[in-house]
Structure 1
Amino acid sequence: MELYDLISKNENLIFTDSATGISKSFREMHQSLEIDDLRSVAFIYNDNLLPAVETLLNFYQSRYTIALLGQGTNTDFKENLEAKYTPYYIYDPSRNAIEGYTTVNASDSITLFRRNENSIYPIHPKVKLLLSTSGTTGSPKFVRLSDENLAENAKSILDYQPIKPDDVVPLNVPVHSVYGLSIFHTNCIKAHQIVCTDKDVFQKEFWSDLKNYGYSTLGGVPYFYEMLHSIGFFKKDHPSLRYFTHGGGLLSHKLIEIISEYNEQFGKQFFAQYGQTEASGRMSYLPPKDLLRKASSIGRAIKNGRFEIDNETSELIYYGPNIFGGYAERRADLQFYDQEEKLHTGDQARVDNEGYYYITGRLKRIVKLFGTRINLDEIELLLKNTLGGQTFICLNIYDKHLAILYTDASLNKEVIVKVLKAKLSLHSSSLKVIQLDNVPLTANGKVNYPVIQESLESEIAV
């Protein structure tokens, strides 16, 4: 396994559990679990803590194909997936028993569920990792990824990110998201200490850990940086932090201005990036020096990757060795690995005269309301830019209403309505403006649009 070999060469690497303070070297975790040597599937329900990470590394260097999911996944959803894929091993500390499985002590600290009946079936040798394409409910497709996909993406990211051999890196992005996984991989290869944590920015333990361990970097999706802004993070220095990474959607111009000012004042770097699960993580990045000059750009393709734009639809198409081997919806699909030549991203884009790419909308997020073509992502950015970089969520309800949800309770609804009426010429009767205290998030930390949409549609009469 090339990726595992790259990690194993980092003799400086240690893992620390923020919950217990326990640290282990990579050598201590190498082949530390007693598991049967089979060509089968292992389900790992991750919580970002040390036992989950140790389990992941052990299964990665074995013959198993790993399905990596969040530990908070709905129990019915877990059981549905397990029935479809009949994994031989399951790691899930949140459950005491699983029907058809026996608990086994794989080590002094890690317990696994082992299937009572043999569940061997054909699996293509390249299918190493399965990542979900959805959040915590429903029946997701898995993305089939190979070791080559993951290793190539990690090497491309290492080409531009300033990771140092003494860096201390928190797993504040879930490892079962492709973005969190790529952060994990690249830092395992080159950094010093990985802090395994399930804390978020709203918990005081997160900030005490940042200070105690001296985090070198933080990563997050737009909502993460909007929350940092809302709690005043960018008003003072955090000396140990050298750089930030971002993925999972566009930041508003206003927030980019705030971050750029912070970077200049305190000497930080910010890497805006663009990626998808089907590309093993990241496909492009914007150099920190261009953050303000090219504000909303996703930059240029990573090393060994390239973009083109479809002339008819303006869809962004990506080429590179990190492109996945197709989807799986049932265990029979695991016998195939169909290496795709190109990835249709589903995003519309444009490119400027310097070769910098810009996402202009999501094909599925462009709707018609009262005969007017509306880009929901553009409306979100418009509100964020106009009203100070706060969180706004825009949805189309039954093709009759434009629903705008916002988190800042001090913001006047009439101000939002006024901005939309002026910019979009929509009648106020078509607007539903709602203040939201808690934003439902996916397992990847992104805004969970389907859950919000379903909730709104049940409340708003047709």
Structure 2
Amino acid sequence: MPSAMLDLVTHEEAPPRSPAVHLVGGRTLSYGDLAALVAQAERSLRHDAKALVLCAGDRDLPTLLTYLAALRLGHTVAFLPASSEIVSKYQPEFVMPGPGGGSELAALGYLPGEEVGGSHVFRRRSARPAGDIFPDTALLLSTSGTTGSPKAVRLSYDGVADNAAAIVRALGVTAAERAPTTLPITHAYGLSVVNSHLIAGASIVLTDRSPLSLALWDHVTRAGATSFAAVPTTYAALGPAHVNLLERTEIRTMTQSGARLGDELTMRLVRMMQRRHGRFFPMYGQTEATSRITCLDPAALPDHLGSVGTAVPGGVLTIAPTEAHDRAAPGEGAVHYRGPGVMLGYATGRDDLGRGPEVDVLDTGDLGYLRDGYLYLTGRTKRIAKVLGVRTSLDDLERVVERSGHPSAVVCRDDVVYLFGAGDPDVHERQRRRLAEALGVPSRHVALRHVDRLPQTPGGKVDYRALTAAVDTQEVGPWN
């Protein structure tokens, strides 16, 4: 048995006859069924040493089985694209391509092996060792911050297990829960839904449909889903038709993470779930913390409206001093986190995988303050800009003009604040004037750009790099 591994399939909380995975079409895999399929997948991933298994798919059965089997074998799973650049940098021993993929892997030195869930796992042809992997490394997840460059985050087996257990405690997940995969499992939030439910002996509803599609809602209704996880852009897009569909489901728990959720929308969702005798949990997390950092108990609302909650069990939040800006809140500083799931470090290639823990306290890159243990986020450290010599928070400016139903975002270039609006032009013009007033600058230093929609990162956040590029080139991208 490997020195570090994680079994999410055969443990005391998962009786063999209990449901584990609900598939499209009505078929349900029990934990016993799932264990048998995972055991078959393990035979395809046998290797003399700890191996790197690259999973390029998302929310399909072959990817899920490969992931679970690799964890039981103590390998490292990389949820990264199977591009020539990634494969050459990380040299994985095994590759599970996405559905219909794999044709390009032969040219990269890989041969098709046995099937897992109906898809071939590809094995690296070369017998030459690619490089050692630190024994406790469980996952490589990409992180694409709204202002930073993408990196791979190294996460440990202990961190994955501890963070999943912390989520179970924070949300009160029981074996009766059924969670649909409404988010990509290639990202920390979506993967945490899978991990936390399987570790609790609950079940998942496996689907890759958009959380706004009628097909998704039909599937979760038929499967008896009890929870729903989404990012703010999804919740903002829920219309009367979705609310009507929700009434047909057994969903009693909703969770939110990703970008900040406006106060008005938060309370609307809280009241909607209260009418269903359910709960709505605003949350906060980062890939560098494996997933969740805080959780806001609905019972704390509306008293702590605007907060992302308290640290998950086992976690500790602190605020470190940082250079102030003109709109800084009392006690505001850099948000630091210590607790279950803090990453081992970053990686840019195979040579980095042999390194051990390099991070004790995580500097989240966020600004915020604590009140009675509740964390209030105010912005990103990289989203502080100077306008006519005055340091100001662009995230705080967005809150100044926030209007439900009229999405907007702010970037800054050369002493000019650019307001991008995807709603009513008249509303955005009033927002532009309000920004100039809040900044105390002539109105010519706040420019308005109308767009059909705001660009998003894969994690569902506003893509500020795309907006800044639109300012620099004076052209909007394909997202508009």
TM-score by length of 1: 0.89
Residue 85 (str. 1) matches residue 103 (str. 2): no
Is structure 2 residue 86 aligned with structure 1 residue 67?
no
Amino acid in structure 1 at the alignment position of 2:21? F
Which residues in structure 2 correspond to 1:418-457 (within 5 Å)?
418-457=433-472
Equivalent in the alignment of 2:355: 336
Q: Tell me what 2:410 maps to.
A: 394
How far apart, CA to CA, are the structure 1 residues paired with 2:172 and 2:283? Answer: 14
Query: Which one-letter code corresponds to 2:311 in the other structure?
Result: A
Within a 5 Å distance, the mapping from 1:22-101 to structure 2 comes to: 22-25=27-30, 26-33=34-41, 34-38=44-48, 39-69=50-80, 73=81, 78-92=83-97, 93=99, 94-98=101-105, 99=107, 100-101=109-110
Mean CA deviation greater in 260-269 or 234-243: 234-243
Pair 1:115-2:124 in alignment: yes
The one-character-per-residue Cα deviations of 1:60-113 (angstroms, maximum 9, x if unpaired) are 2113211113xxx5x7xx211111111111111334231111222334612122
Letter in 1 for 2:125: N
Residues 32 and 381 of structure 1: is their aligned pair in 2 closer, same or farther, counting only changes over 3 Å?
Answer: farther
Distance change in 2, residues 1:401/1:32 (3 Å): farther
SS of match in other structure, 1:159:
helix
**Contact persistence 1:365–1:377 (CA under 8 A):** yes
Q: 2:140 aligns with which of 130, 135, 158?
A: 130
Contact 2:5 2:73 in 1 (8 A): no
- Alignment-derived partner of residue 115 in structure 2: 106
SS of 2:40's equivalent in the other structure is coil
**Aligned partners of 2:303, 2:178: CA distance in 1, in Å?**
30
1:248 aligns to what SS in structure 2?
A: coil
Deviation at 1:430, TM superposition (A): 2.7
**Secondary structure of 1:102 counterpart:** strand
Mapped contact 1:126–1:147 kept (Cα < 8 A): yes
| 3-state SS, counterpart of residue 176 of structure 1 | coil
What amino acid sits opposite 2:312 in the alignment? I
1:188 to 198, 203, 211: 198
Whether contact under 8 Å (2:232, 2:260) holds in the other structure is yes
* Aligned pairs (5 A) from 1:207-246: 207-228=217-238, 233=243, 237-246=247-256
- Structure 2 CA distance for partners of 1:136 and 1:231, relative to 1, 3 Å: farther
1:204-353 equivalent positions in 2, closer than 5 A: 204-228=214-238, 233=243, 237-313=247-323, 314-352=333-371
Q: Deviations over 1:146-184 (max 9, x none)?
A: 110111111111112132322221111111111111111
* 3-state secondary structure, aligned to 2:401: helix
Q: 1:231 to 1:371 in 2, by over 3 A?
A: farther
Distance 1:148 1:376, change over 3 A: same
State the secondary structure of the residue aligned to 1:160: helix
Q: What is the alpha-carbon distance in structure 2 between the residues aligned to residue 234 and residue 399 of structure 1?
A: 47
- Correspondence for 2:155 among 145, 161, 178: 145
Gaps of 5+ in 2: 324-332
Aligned length in residues: 450
Residue identity opposite 2:380 in structure 1:
R
The DSSP-based 3-state class of the residue aligned with 1:361 is: strand
Contact 1:201 1:228 in 2 (8 A): no
CA apart distance, 1:241 = 1.1
Query: In structure 2, how many angstroms separate the alpha carbons of the residues matched to 1:369 and 1:328?
Result: 35
Question: Residues 191 and 64 from structure 1, CA distance in 2 versus in 1: closer, same or farther, beyond 3 angstroms?
Answer: closer
Does the aligned pair in 2 maintain the 1:409–1:435 contact within 8 Å? no
Q: Which residue does 2:175 correspond to in 1?
A: 165
Separation in 1, partners of 2:116, 2:266: 46
Q: Is the 8 A contact 1:135 1:443 kept in 2?
A: no
Deviation at 1:5, TM superposition (A): 5.1
| Pick aligned residue for 1:362 from 339, 356, 380 | 380
Task: Please say which of residues 149-158 and 429-438 is displaced more in the overlay.
Answer: 429-438
Q: Report the alpha carbon displacement of residue 409 of structure 1 after superposing the two structures with TM.
A: 5.1
Q: Which amino acid is 1:116 matched to?
A: R
Moved more, 168-177 or 399-408: 399-408
Deviates more, 1:432-441 or 1:210-219: 432-441
Taking the aligned partners of 1:232 and 1:423, their CA distance within structure 2 comes to 37
Distance 2:470 2:73 in 1: 43
Which of residues 371, 374, 377 in structure 1 aligns to 2:395? 377
Query: In the TM superposition, what is the alpha-carbon distance from 1:6 to its structure 2 partner?
Result: 7.1
| Aligned-pair CA distance for 1:23 | 3.6
Residue aligning to 1:16 = 22
Task: Identify the residue that residue 175 of structure 1 maps to in structure 2.
Answer: 185
- Whichever residue aligns with residue 123 of structure 2, its letter is R
Question: 1 CA distance for matches of 2:307 and 2:69?
Answer: 38
SS in 1 for 2:409: strand
Distance change (3 Å), C-alpha of 1:2 and 1:88? closer
Q: 1:30 to 1:272 in 2, by over 3 A?
A: same
- Aligned amino acid, residue 375 of structure 2: Y
Q: Supply the distance in 1 between the matched residues of 2:208 and 2:395 (Cα, whole angstroms).
A: 30
* Whole-angstrom CA distance in 1 between matches of 2:260 and 2:353: 33
CA contact (8 A) 2:406 2:424 kept: no
The alpha-carbon distance between structure 1 residues 342 and 427, as it changes in their structure 2 partners (threshold 3 A), is same
1:388 aligns to what SS in structure 2? Answer: coil
Take 2:470 and 2:208, find their aligned partners in 1: how far apart are those partners?
Answer: 27
Q: Is the 8 A contact 1:140 1:329 kept in 2?
A: no
1:310 is displaced (CA, Å) by: 1.2
Letter in 1 for 2:127: N
Query: What corresponds to 1:4 in structure 2?
Result: 7
Tell me by how many angstroms 1:273 deviates: 1.3
Q: Distance in 1 between matches of 2:390 and 2:178?
A: 50
| Structure 2 counterpart of 1:97, one-letter code | E
What is the SS of the residue equivalent to 1:113?
Answer: strand
- Following the alignment from structure 1 to structure 2, what is the Cα–Cα distance between the partners of residues 309 and 64? 36
The 1-side partners of 2:219 and 2:426 are apart by 32
If the length of structure 2 is used for normalisation, what is the TM-score? 0.86
Segment of structure 1 superposing worse, 335-344 or 405-414? 405-414
Kindly tell me: are residues 367 and 233 of structure 1, through their superposed partners in 2, closer, same or farther at Cα, counting changes over 3 Å? farther
Task: Give the letter aligned to residue 347 of structure 1.
Answer: D
Asked whether the equivalents of residues 254 and 389 of structure 1 are also in contact (C-alpha less than 8 Å), the reply is no
1:267, distance to aligned residue in structure 2 (A):
2.0
